[in-house]
Amino acid sequence: MKSELALVERIRRRAGRPRRLSLAIGDDCAIYTPAAGEELLFTTDMLIEDAHFRRGTHKAADVGYKTLARGLSDIAAMGGAPRFCLVSLALAEWTDERWVDGFYTGLLELARATGTELAGGDLARADKVMADIVVCGSAPAGTALRRGGAKPGDGIYVTGALGGSALGLESRRGMAWRKHLRPEPRLKAGAALREKWGATACMDLSDGLSIDLHRLCAESRVSAELDGDLPVYPGATVAQALHGGEDYELLFTLPAGVKAPRSIGGALLTRIGSIRRGNAGRIRIEGFELQPLGYDHFRKP
Amino acid sequence: MKSELALVERIRRRAGRPRRLSLAIGDDCAIYTPAAGEELLFTTDMLIEDAHFRRGTHKAADVGYKTLARGLSDIAAMGGAPRFCLVSLALAEWTDERWVDGFYTGLLELARATGTELAGGDLARADKVMADIVVCGSAPAGTALRRGGAKPGDGIYVTGALGGSALGLESRRGMAWRKHLRPEPRLKAGAALREKWGATACMDLSDGLSIDLHRLCAESRVSAELDGDLPVYPGATVAQALHGGEDYELLFTLPAGVKAPRSIGGALLTRIGSIRRGNAGRIRIEGFELQPLGYDHFRKP
């Protein structure tokens, strides 16, 4: 491995000239000069070897791609447009220059496709690879979509199909595995939900529908009744669709009167239920209570 | 350990109500609405168990404090005022609730003292503890201090004394050990250098004077001549003052004509040399060339 200075210089060259940033990699801080009337959205996500990926099955470029994709998914969930990101990368003994290059190839590929500039980061050594990303997005002031605005009577919707990532992780084959490795952040759908469709609440499905819908309802102080057809990913089980993590689809609510389109920003929409009054966070499905079983890093087995 | 939801709720309560942030912990993103005419500064830093701290010698509160202090030091280096931070924390098996509480006690203590709001973060499990922080600071647009503006003839200065952190790490005793554990980010000095003293370049001393001055000179495309008295920390060696890391003092340059004050923002100033033309990044001391030997994560031993 080269010296840190040489490595930073190499990443800086690959990131290209900053356009929206006044200053990017190479100083104590990166500088962003906000436009008038914008609010800035910030999210942070870790990707850790053996917790979120394995060196044997995940290529460096997939790890880089997914590190950014997870952050962008949070920006999409607020209806924001990505602006820039900062990436902290702890490298293990087994990583070589090719791995580092691959990581940034995957990350920068998605960054370019979504208009996200690489503003900076930190490099360190550790026993296992750990990537942490902060993504900054932008929306007109006061318009970002939050979790807490769902109202009784609102329809509950999801983009795409659910359970694909869990199926992919199990089978390691086909489109489901690809969906697990390279989830597509629903940036266009999120922006349209904010601009045109008046979504009352929105979040991304990172830990699984059952726990994420529970969170949305808890934050909105309402309950949910699942009464629509669940868009189960082809080949996935209903349990994977209900509880599987990392689908990175959007979960959102629209006011009762709104007739939702069939698709939005390239993603199919499915109405899966309705918001109900009271019992903050409770979810009912076919008369039973749905337990929030999605992924929780700290739950005791 | 409680569930992730309970842990996040607990951190959210301890962080208190957001004041400058429109939205803090608990949604997909935090929201900051910039004021007119401000530019925003962003920095990110990792603190990793067994690389940057050891569980046996560093209390949880010291780890939390230092995680934020390192980021704040970068904001100070640009002359910025801290606004908010995001903290990603990977917890090892050995950490319990008391450790997590202690970590946030140390972090929030410094956050309150410096006006830095906790905007959010991420939690995960890992083999070793890893904290990554992003700090956002603010300065009037176009005024942040950079590394690249040093001009031939400028005086080179440092705040405080050098080598204290390296001495503390070696001795684990007294004020030097405290300086290693709880470095004071030079926020007031940085702000004054930006507002009043027209510093041409500034950075914080995180890896050691020899490598950091090399970086400042390389970025400014100039060389340096060290000809003043080095402010060596009491008990430290000259080698520790020249090459020791983690002092988190400020290294800066002032135009030739400026008569620097004795102290600034509570920190003593010492003139240690002058900027010279050409040989970008080279440092001369008493006729010899000073090799940049400060800390580099990736240099081969």
> Model confidence over B27-85: pLDDT tens digits?
888 999 999 999 999 999 999 999 899 999 999 999 999 999 999 999 999 999 999 99
Return the CATH number at B41.
3.30.1330.10
Q: Are residues B255 and B196 in the same domain?
A: yes
Give SS3 for B292: coil
Q: Assess if residue A145 is contained within a domain.
A: no
- Cβ–Cβ gap A27/B147 under 8 Å: yes
In degrees rounded to 5, what are phi and psi of residue B165?
Answer: -70, -40
Q: Which positions in chain A touch B300 (Cβ < 8 Å)?
A: 1
Backbone angle region of B74, left / alpha / beta, with phi > 0 → left and psi within -120 to 50 → alpha = alpha
- Cβ–Cβ gap B51/A126 under 8 Å: yes
Distance from the B125 Cα atom to the nearest Cα atom in chain A, whole angstroms: 6
Residue located via tokens 């490598």: B211
Q: Which positions in chain B touch A280 (Cβ < 8 Å)?
A: none
Mean pLDDT to the nearest integer, B210-226: 95
Q: Assess if residue A150 is contained within a domain.
A: no
Q: Indicate the pairing of strand A130-140 with strand A38-48.
A: antiparallel
ipTM of the complex: 0.88
* A76, closest residue in chain B (CA to CA): B28
- Cβ–Cβ gap B44/A296 under 8 Å: no
The DSSP symbol for B29 reads S
Distances (CA, A) of A245 to A52, A208, A295, B1, B276: 11, 4, 6, 21, 58
Alpha-carbon torsion angle A25, A31, A33, A39, nearest 10: 90
- Cβ–Cβ gap B147/A36 under 8 Å: no
Q: How far apart are CA A118 and CA A109, in angstroms?
A: 11
- Cβ–Cβ gap A1/B298 under 8 Å: yes
Domain boundary among A140, A169, A198: A140
pLDDT at residue A278, rounded to an integer: 87
Q: Are residues A126 and A163 in the same domain?
A: no
In degrees rounded to 5, what are phi and psi of residue B170?
Answer: -75, -45
Q: Are residues A71 and A191 in the same domain?
A: no
The pTM for the full model equals: 0.91
Distance from the A258 Cα atom to the nearest Cα atom in chain B, whole angstroms: 24
Return the closest-CA partner of residue B177 out of B166, B161, B193. Answer: B166
Select the residue of B27, B78, B91 nearest A146 (Cβ to Cβ).
B27
Q: Are residues A125 and A185 in the same domain?
A: no
Q: Are residues B255 and B195 in the same domain?
A: yes
Q: Assess if residue A300 is contained within a domain.
A: no
A94 within 8 A of A55, measured Cβ to Cβ: yes
Query: How confident is the model over A82-133, as pLDDT tens digits?
Result: 999 999 999 999 999 999 999 999 999 999 999 999 998 888 899 999 999 9
Q: Averaging pLDDT over each range in B41-55, B60-74, B119-133, B281-295, which range is the top one?
A: B60-74
Judged on CB neighbours under 10 Å (0-12, 13-18, 19+), B251 is: buried
Q: Are residues B86 and B209 in the same domain?
A: no
Judged on CB neighbours under 10 Å (0-12, 13-18, 19+), B211 is: buried
Q: Assess if residue A70 is contained within a domain.
A: yes
Query: How confident is the model over A253-274, as pLDDT tens digits?
Result: 999 999 999 999 999 999 999 9
Q: Are residues B97 and B192 in the same domain?
A: no
Q: Are residues A135 and A177 in the same domain?
A: no
Q: Assess if residue A256 is contained within a domain.
A: yes
Distance from the B296 Cα atom to the nearest Cα atom in chain A, whole angstroms: 6
Return the closest-CA partner of residue A133 out of B42, B77, B115. Answer: B42
- Cβ–Cβ gap B125/A51 under 8 Å: yes
Residue B43 tokens, joined = 């920095």
Which long-range contacts does B53-57 make (Cβ < 8 Å, 24+ apart)? Answer: B55/B94, B55/B129, B57/B172
Q: Are residues A210 and A87 in the same domain?
A: no
* A140, closest residue in chain B (CA to CA): B33
Q: How far apart are CA A4 and CA A1, in angstroms?
A: 9
Residue B209 tokens, joined = 């004077």
pLDDT at residue B300, rounded to an integer: 47
- Cβ–Cβ gap B41/A22 under 8 Å: no
pLDDT at residue B13, rounded to an integer: 85
Q: Assess if residue B294 is contained within a domain.
A: no
Domain boundary among B140, B173, B193: B140
Q: What is the mean pLDDT of chain B?
A: 92
Q: Indicate the pairing of strand A130-140 with strand A223-226.
A: unpaired
Select the residue of B50, B126, B204 nearest A130 (Cβ to Cβ).
B126
Select the residue of B4, B36, B75 nearest A29 (Cβ to Cβ).
B75
pLDDT at residue A9, rounded to an integer: 82
Q: Indicate the pairing of strand B130-140 with strand B38-48.
A: antiparallel
Q: How far apart are CA A174 and CA A42, in angstroms?
A: 33
B136 pLDDT higher than 90: yes
Q: Provide the residue range defining the domain that includes B99.
A: 4-140
pLDDT at residue B2, rounded to an integer: 64
Q: Are residues B136 and B164 in the same domain?
A: no
Residue located via tokens 């045109």: A196
Query: How confident is the model over B151-179, as pLDDT tens digits?
Result: 999 999 999 999 999 999 999 999 999 99
Return the closest-CA partner of residue A4 out of A177, A85, A122, A118. Answer: A122
In degrees rounded to 5, what are phi and psi of residue B207?
Answer: -105, -10
Q: How many CB atoms lie within 10 A of CB A281?
A: 18
Select the residue of B5, B41, B44 nearest A134 (Cβ to Cβ).
B44
Residues of chain A with pLDDT under 70: 1-2, 294-301
Q: Which positions in chain A touch B22 (Cβ < 8 Å)?
A: 39
Q: Are residues B18 and B126 in the same domain?
A: yes
Q: How far apart are CA A226 and CA A210, in angstroms?
A: 10
Distance from the B152 Cα atom to the nearest Cα atom in chain A, whole angstroms: 20
Return the CATH number at B190.
3.90.650.10
Q: Which positions in chain A touch B120 (Cβ < 8 Å)?
A: 42-44
Report the share of chain B in percent with pLDDT over 70: 97
How many contacts (CB atoms, under 8 Å) link A and B?
221
- Cβ–Cβ gap A3/B204 under 8 Å: no
Q: How confident is the model at residue B261 (pLDDT cuts 50, 70, 90)?
A: very high
Domain boundary among B140, B168, B190: B140
What is the number of domains present in chain B?
2
Instruction: Choose from B12, B117, B298, B299 for mutation: most chain A CBs within 10 A.
Output: B298
Q: How far apart are CA A297 and CA B125, in angstroms?
A: 6
pLDDT at residue B294, rounded to an integer: 66
Q: Assess if residue A116 is contained within a domain.
A: yes
- Cβ–Cβ gap A219/B27 under 8 Å: yes
For residue A70, the one-letter residue type is R
Q: Which positions in chain B touch A37 (Cβ < 8 Å)?
A: none
**Secondary structure element (H or E) that encloses residue B177, with its range:** helix B174-181
Return the closest-CA partner of residue A250 out of A80, A76, A114, A134. Answer: A76
Alpha-carbon torsion angle B54, B59, B61, B65, nearest 10: -40
Select the residue of B4, B29, B87 nearest A137 (Cβ to Cβ).
B29
DSSP assignment string, B32-79: E-PPTTEEEEEEEEEEEBTTTB-TTTS-HHHHHHHHHHHHHHHHHHTT
Q: Assess if residue A69 is contained within a domain.
A: yes
Q: Are residues A198 and A130 in the same domain?
A: no
* Helices and strands per DSSP (H, E), number in chain A: 8, 14
Instruction: Choose from B29, B53, B54, B205 for mutation: most chain A CBs within 10 A.
Output: B29
